């Protein structure tokens, strides 16, 4: 007991949270000890030394998955392989940054030839900022046309940031379902969205102040709306009630409804999953929903005010890999 260090002392000494320590333990990187007379986790000297090694590797931006590989063998070959890959990754990024710098300098030289004194031109540039890629490709650019495509390629390669991902457990709930419906029938007169809105007074929020979940299915989609306790099939006829099982999801956020940005967030959730001990649960559909940004009248669909943008939340169903169950 005297040689063991309490979790709060380790957390304070190394400026990391207790949650991070528990995460490292869950990943099998360190081990803690407990005693009958002390309820909290404690760490011996070897665990603290291992923690210091983990922190060094994390400072080098080594992934948890690679740290697991390093600690799984006593040989130095794995750590050398991981570090060499990191050096190569840095070299590749530096080369791209140098090329990006050259392109930007070339743009500067070309822009110096253009008169930007006209306020209307500046306003147009501002208004079209979100369409920059389309604008650059579709007009006759006075500089090097090849620079445009290469710029887009470089910025795409440098965009390796994985969005913040939360592991969410959505509870089971009773929901009214639209059934699998064609996208084009969503808002048609008498379409399934109009049918769903008729029952808004029966709905309740499930998570993040949302009561509805959209399950895209290629050219079709299913919409689920959680209902309050006591609601029956007769209350929502001709629609039907189902029991939604809930479960674990990897969740991240995209802003606005731009298809490309939404797809990027979706793809990067899968990048995040690959670096963890989770895998996609293919027995369930991925989902999305949108929190209501205003205290408007939901029943009359007056919910479009809010913050001036729309926050779409993406949920990818996940489960622990078989090796970690």
Mean pLDDT of 249-258: 76
Structure token pair of residue 179: 């059934």
Reported for 268-272, long-range contacts at CB under 8 A and 24+ positions apart, including other chains, are 268/161, 268/162, 268/163, 269/163, 269/165, 269/314, 269/316, 270/316, 271/162, 272/162, 272/163, 272/165
286: number of Cβ within 10 Å: 20
DSSP helix/strand/coil, 317: strand
Question: What percent of the chain is predicted at pLDDT more than 90?
Answer: 20
pLDDT at 138 over 50: no
- Torsion angle of alpha carbons 230, 231, 233, 239, nearest 10°? -160
User: How many whole angstroms separate alpha carbon 83 and alpha carbon 87?
Assistant: 6
d(C-alpha 110, C-alpha 147), whole Å = 12
pTM metric for this prediction: 0.53
Residue 324 in tokens = 């970690």
* pLDDT at residue 295 in the model: 46
* Domain map (residue ranges) of the chain: 5-71, 78-158, 166-324
pLDDT (0 to 100) of residue 78 = 87
Architecture of domain 5-71: Orthogonal Bundle (1.10)
Which residue, chain included where needed, has tokens 């090097």?
A: 144
Q: Which is more confidently placed, 102 or 300?
A: 102
| Residues paired with residue 319 on neighbouring β-strands, in sequence order | 279
List, in sequence order, every residue forming a beta bridge with 227; answer none if it has no partner.
203
DSSP assignment of 76-141 equals SHHHHHHHHHHHHHHHHHHHHHHHHHHHHHHHHHHHTTS----HHHHHHHHHTGGGHHHHHHHS--
* Measured distance CA(176)–CA(309) in Å, rounded: 27
User: Does pLDDT of 248 surpass 90?
Assistant: yes
Give the H/E segment covering residue 249.
Answer: strand 247-255
pLDDT digits 0-9 by tens, 142-201: 445 555 566 666 666 666 555 688 899 999 999 999 888 887 666 666 677 788 888 889
Give 143's DSSP letter: S
In CATH, the number for domain 166-324 is 3.20.80.10
Dist. CA 43–CA 21, nearest whole Å: 10
């Amino acid at each position: 007991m005297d040689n063991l260090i309490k979790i709060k002392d380790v957390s304070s000494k190394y400026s990391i949270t207790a949650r991070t320590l528990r995460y490292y333990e869950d990943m099998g990187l360190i081990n803690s000890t407990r005693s009958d007379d002390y309820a909290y986790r404690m760490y011996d000297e070897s665990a603290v030394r291992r923690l210091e090694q983990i922190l060094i590797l994390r400072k080098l931006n080594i992934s948890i998955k690679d740290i697991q590989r390093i600690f799984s063998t006593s040989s130095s070959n794995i750590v050398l392989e991981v570090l060499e890959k990191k050096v190569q990754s840095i070299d590749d990024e530096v080369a791209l940054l140098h090329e990006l710098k050259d392109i930007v300098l070339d743009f500067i030289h070309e822009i110096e030839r253009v008169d930007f004194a006209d306020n209307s031109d500046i306003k147009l540039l501002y208004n079209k900022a979100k369409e920059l890629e389309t604008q650059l490709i579709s007009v006759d650019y006075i500089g090097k046309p090849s620079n445009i495509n290469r710029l887009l390629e470089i910025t795409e390669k440098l965009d390796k940031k994985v969005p913040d991902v939360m592991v969410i457990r959505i509870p089971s709930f009773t929901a009214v379902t639209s059934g699998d419906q064609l996208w084009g029938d969503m808002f048609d007169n008498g379409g399934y969205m109009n049918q769903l809105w008729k029952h808004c007074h029966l709905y309740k929020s499930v998570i993040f102040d949302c009561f509805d979940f959209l399950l895209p299915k290629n050219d079709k989609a299913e919409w689920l709306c959680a209902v309050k306790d006591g609601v029956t099939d007769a209350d929502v006829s001709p629609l039907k009630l189902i029991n939604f099982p809930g479960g674990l999801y990897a969740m991240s956020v995209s802003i606005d409804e731009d298809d490309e940005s939404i797809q990027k967030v979706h793809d990067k959730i899968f990048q995040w999953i690959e670096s963890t001990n989770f895998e996609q649960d293919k027995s369930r559909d991925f989902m999305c929903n949108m929190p209501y940004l205003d205290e408007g009248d939901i029943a009359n669909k007056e919910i479009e005010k809010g913050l001036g943008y729309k926050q779409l939340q993406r949920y990818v169903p996940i489960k622990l890999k078989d090796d970690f169950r």
